[in-house]
Structure 1
Amino acid sequence: MDLKQLSYFVTIVDQMSFSKAAQILHISQPSLSNAIKNLESELGFQLLERNTRNIGITEAGQILYTRAVHLLLEMDIVKKEMIEVKHIGKGELQIGMIESVKHWIPKVILQYIQEFPDVRIKLTEVLSGADVKNSLRNYETHLIITNQYIQEDDITTIPLYHEKLVLLLHVNHPLVKHESITLKDLTEEAFIISSEGFQTRQDVLNAFDMEGIKPIIKYEIERFETALSLVRENIGVTLIPENYLQGPQDLSIVKRPVDSAGVNRIVYLTFLKNRYVSPAIHAFINKTNAFFN
């Protein structure tokens, strides 16, 4: 049994088709079928149940599939780490981030590329807590800047800074004229909030809970830009991280502070504890941390 055989087997199970798997693997269907028969013969039991219409997987095959997927993923990770060892000072830096960092992260990158001009940088949005964990563990990102507090044995979480959540209103909204706005003033408003699984949603709800009140959740969104679009039409109000609002201002939207100690959040830097990273990647982690601390 070798990695090639395991890769063949996993692909067949994923596709539930010898013909589709053969196309993906760029080998002939008879060759693929013979490889699986040889694997079954070597192991001494049947892995797949074949008939004229479809393919099934035996109990033994399911056990092997689970183990093989894990093993192949580990081998892929090893390959990626070896590439990073090879490309010291070069290669690719993969950064996951939330929306509100878009105004300060270019400043860190500007410092970084002066020292490591040959590193290619890939920026992707990683928003929910589950996505942060999966992205790091699957080696899709080297580090992630997030407002999710990740408490896991294999992940390092460093607080970078606190930021306030500010209220967004349409310019014609009656609350714009108020000198002071509290969360109680918002309990009758059509409230716009992040979807389940997003930490900003929990931060907002915690702030309301601290005062023993609840908002009327009318709209649930994944991206803050969608929340701005709804406020722009004067059909709801929302609380948004202040850093997201840096840059050109929309004249139809008014920003107001809220008189509540709970309307804030923490932004963190996260990365895998035991993953090998090149000095160039480690340098970016240090520069990001130093930018705020």
Structure 2
Amino acid sequence: MDIKQLHYFVTVADQLSYSKAAQKLHISQPSLSNAIKNLEQEVGSPLLERNTRKMELTDAGNIFYQKAASLLSQMNMLKKEMEEVKLTGSGELIIGIIESVKHWIPKVIREYQGLYPSMNIKLIEVLSGNAVKESLRKYQTHLLITNQYIDEEDIESVPLYNEKLVLVLHRDHPLARKEFIHIKELEREPFIISTEGFQTREDILTAFALEQVTPNIKFEIERFETALTLVRENLGITIIPENYVSESTDVSVVRKTIDSPALERTIYLTFMKNRYLAPAVESFMEEVRGKFG
């Protein structure tokens, strides 16, 4: 039994098709089928149930799949960590971000590149809580800046700063002329909100629940820019992080602060606790901490 056999089996189990798996692995279907048969003989138990209609994992196959997938993941992590041991001033830094950090992260990157000019930096939007955990555990990112507090044994969440969530509406909206706006005044307004799985949505719904009112949700979006586009057309109102609109020069929209303890969130620097991070990666994390420390 070797790593290649495990890789073949996990791919077949993921695809539940020899032809699709063979295509993905760039080998012939008969070669793949023989490799799986040899693995089953070595294990001493059938791993795949085959019939004319579909393929399924046996009970033994399910257990073997979980262990094999975990082992392959660990091998992949080990390979990447070994590649990064020698990384000091060149290579790739992958950062997961949320939309509202756009007002400060370019400044940190500029200072960082003065220290590591040959580093290639990749910025990836990672928005939901599950996506944050997956991107870290699968080594898709070195670190994340997120509003999701991740309470897991293998993940560290370091608070950086707090930011308010503010009401944004079209300048022609009747509420735009008011100096103070209460959440209860928003109950019947067409509301634009993040889809399920986003912390911002939970914060907004909590703010409404505290006032015992329910928002009139008309649009569900994933990106704040989409929400602003809808507001610009006066199709609804929204609540988004203040830093996302802090430098906006768009005169078609106005923002208002609403007094609610729920409409404030914490931004975290998040990373794997036990993952080896190269000096160049650690240096970026120190730059971020130093900005808000």
CA contact (8 A) 1:94 1:141 kept: yes
Which residue identity does 1:111 align to in structure 2? E
Q: What do residues 77-126 of structure 1 show as CA deviations (whole Å, max 9, x unaligned)?
A: 11111111132322111100100001210001011111111111110000
Partner of 2:199: 199
1:63 paired residue number = 63
Say whether the 8 Å CA contact 1:182–1:260 is kept in structure 2.
Answer: no
Counterpart code for 1:252 = S
Does the residue aligned with 1:96 lie in a helix, a strand or coil?
Answer: strand
Alpha-carbon shift at residue 37 of structure 1 (Å): 2.1
Q: TM-score if structure 2 supplies the norm length?
A: 0.94
Sort the Cα spacing of 1:179 and 1:16 in 2 relative to 1 into closer, same or farther, 3 A.
Answer: closer
Shift of 1:174: 0.8
Secondary structure at the aligned position of 1:91 is classed as strand
Alignment of 1:139-154 (within 5 A): 139-154=139-154
- C-alpha distance in 1 between matches for 2:245 and 2:143: 24
Question: Which residue of structure 2 aligns with residue 156 of structure 1?
Answer: 156
Structure 2 residue identity aligned to 1:46: P
2:90 alignment partner, SS class? coil
| Superimposed CA distance per residue, residues 171-208 of structure 1 (whole angstroms, 9 cap, x where no aligned partner) | 11111211222222222211211111111111112222
The answer for the alignment partner of 2:101 in structure 1 is: 101
SS of 1:119's equivalent in the other structure is: strand
CA distance in 2 between counterparts of 1:64 and 1:262 reads 45
Query: 1:135 and 1:241 mapped to 2: Cα distance?
Result: 23
Residue 44 of structure 1 corresponds to 44
2:18 maps to a residue whose letter is: F
Q: Aligned partner of 1:160: which letter?
A: L
Q: State the identity %.
A: 61
Partner secondary structure for residue 130 of structure 1: helix
- Residue 250 of structure 1 is matched in structure 2 by 250
Distance 2:139 2:76 in 1: 9
Q: Is the 8 A contact 2:91 2:118 kept in 1?
A: yes
Q: Which residue of 2 aligns with 1:35?
A: 35
Name the structure 2 match of 1:8.
Answer: 8
**CA-atom RMSD, angstroms?**
1.7
Q: How is 1:1-293 mapped onto 2 (pairs within 5 angstroms)?
A: 1-51=1-51, 54-293=54-293
In 2, the alpha carbon distance for the partners of 1:170 and 1:107 equals: 30
Moved more, 2-11 or 246-255: 246-255
Query: What is the TM-score when the length of structure 1 is the normalising length?
Result: 0.94
> Hey, what's the Cα distance between the residues in 2 that align with 1:209 and 1:54?
48
Residue segments in structure 2 that go unaligned for 5+ positions in a row? none
Q: 1:30-71, CA deviations, whole angstroms, 9 ceiling, x for partnerless residues?
A: 322222222222222222234556533322222211211111
Is the 8 Å Cα contact of residues 87 and 279 (structure 2) preserved in structure 1?
no
Q: Is the 8 A contact 2:108 2:287 kept in 1?
A: yes
| Cα distance between partner residues in 2 of 1:271 and 1:44 | 40
Q: Name the CA distance, whole Å, in 2 between partners of 1:19 and 1:216.
A: 49
Distance 1:261 1:69, change over 3 A: closer
Distance 1:18 1:205, change over 3 A: closer
Counterparts of 1:192 and 1:72, CA distance in 2: 42
Q: Is contact 1:89–1:278 with CA below 8 Å preserved after alignment?
A: no
What one-letter code is carried by the residue in structure 2 that aligns with 1:265? R
Question: What SS is found at the alignment partner of 2:214?
Answer: coil
- C-alpha spacing 1:30/1:211, structure 2 compared with 1 (3 Å): closer
Bigger shift: 78-87 or 107-116? Answer: 78-87
| SS at 1:168 equivalent | strand
Partner amino acid for 1:18? Answer: Y
The 1:188–1:78 alpha-carbon spacing in structure 2 relative to 1, beyond 3 Å, is same
Amino acid at match of 1:244: Y
